[in-house]
Chains A and B, each alone.
Chain A
């Protein structure tokens, strides 16, 4: 168990709701949910959530800390924003799900090999390295995320698509050696480092 997780359990011993309100992006909205279920019914991947949003909200209030934070439900969010525009109480549900996923990640509670969690890490590392996305490297990292053997299989299976993307000039093999990026990489990294420091300091409170 991570140290951050242990300290949060100590600090919010009896109220997971308070923990969410204080630590999760837009978490202060959770208590406003009236359990109508429109969010769950509107979610394009609804059937694939072990606990759809409506259920997550009630579980937070019922103190089901471990069940919520170790669930892979939030990682099913496609960011379609259907739930946000349909919620009769105007809860920013998409953002709360993103916030819960990020909080679980920071505490080290995400289920092992959760594919969207893995992709999120690949994506963030990719875009912050040069300041812009390197689509080719991102694609290759994805192919190889489950090991070398699987990576080769994935690459072979998608060979035709890769060729078509290159033929239409929508993928460039030279991106492997550098590729697009911003000039002020050190400035961007300094900004992100500072932002992370500010967030970490709040997390420790």
Chain B
């Protein structure tokens, strides 16, 4: 039996052939080492993310997450729900909190769910994978599995918005969360705790509708990483990863910069440090190659 077991909500971008499929591959690799079993919520649906409000409105949006919770209660009873995507975690946790504190909303949501024969109690905890790592394992245990320390690799910890606000990770501040830095140190890498853009917004979903405004913010996030001598940026969020990695060409063309900064997931760092190969660590999913990680993974 696995050491820890959770009800898993992977989210749309983690699916095969989707934009954060590389995160999922590296999360699976990390979980294998830590002996974590992720029981996917059967037939889960999209959470509505941070742009669902415009067309969806309150109750339809709540109903999306409530359906997932209802399915989790039915099939993975008693297990904490764990999400790896910031928006999935936020939407699901917000729904759970609001259902528990608002009787009318709970009644209306269940009325809507009954149209598909479902019922929600919202009695499971909703957690981010990072919470699981820090609270259920702890840095010491996470470090005990390291086979290849990330020696000499300078890594800027970019937390972003939605893994940090409005809920955040217990014991961390909204303005200067330190857990990515602590994790980098735990894996034997060189953290850059003074990286000042660690909670700067990347534009989120507005990268698609307001690309110029969003890319201006991303420019600052990358520039600051260079200022601190970073070899790469690490993030826990699929949208941050995509927004900061894939538009560097556009920013270079517009501003005459020469950005070529790899942006990886914490799970990729862990997978490499735990001795997994490039493929299991999903390094082939980088558009901007994380050369120093590749070299280490090959050793």
B290 within 8 A of A: no
Q: How many residues on B have C-beta within 8 angstroms of the other chain's C-beta atoms?
A: 67
Q: Does A150 count as interface, using CB distance less than 8 angstroms?
A: no
Q: How far is the CB of A72 from chain B (nearest CB, A)?
A: 10
Does chain B have a CB within 8 A of A184?
yes
* Shortest distance between the CB of B59 and any CB in chain A (Å): 4
Which chain A residues lie closer than 8 Å to B171 at the CB level? none
A161 touches B17 (CB 8 A): no
- Decide: A195 and B112 in contact? CB cutoff 8 A: yes
**Which of chain A's residues have a CB closer than 8 A to the CB of B203?**
44, 78
How would you classify the secondary structure of chain A's contact residues: helix, strand, loop or mixed?
helix
**Total chain A interface residues with beta-carbon distance under 8 A:** 63
Instruction: Assess whether A187 is in contact with B55, with CB atoms less than 8 Å apart.
Output: no
Looking at A118, A168, A170, the one whose CB has the most chain B CB atoms below 10 A away is: A170
A45 nearest CB across to chain B (Å) = 6
The B78-122 residues at the A interface (CB cut-off 8 A) are: 108-109, 111-118
Residues of B within 8 A of A160 (CB): 249
A125 to B52, CA, bound (A): 10
- B201 and A124: CB pair below 8 A? no
Chain B, 21-57, CB within 8 A of any chain A CB: 21-22, 43-46, 48-57
Q: A76-B210, A184-B43 are in contact. List 12 more A-B contacts (CB 8 A).
A: A44-B203, A45-B210, A80-B204, A81-B162, A124-B55, A133-B13, A161-B250, A164-B246, A169-B22, A171-B17, A188-B45, A193-B115
- Give B residues with C-beta under 8 Å from A: 12-13, 15-22, 43-46, 48-60, 62-64, 67, 108-109, 111-118, 161-162, 165-166, 168, 174, 200-201, 203-206, 208-210, 213-214, 217, 246-247, 249-250, 284-287
Q: 4 tightest A-B contacts by CB?
A: A120-B54, A172-B17, A187-B116, A124-B55
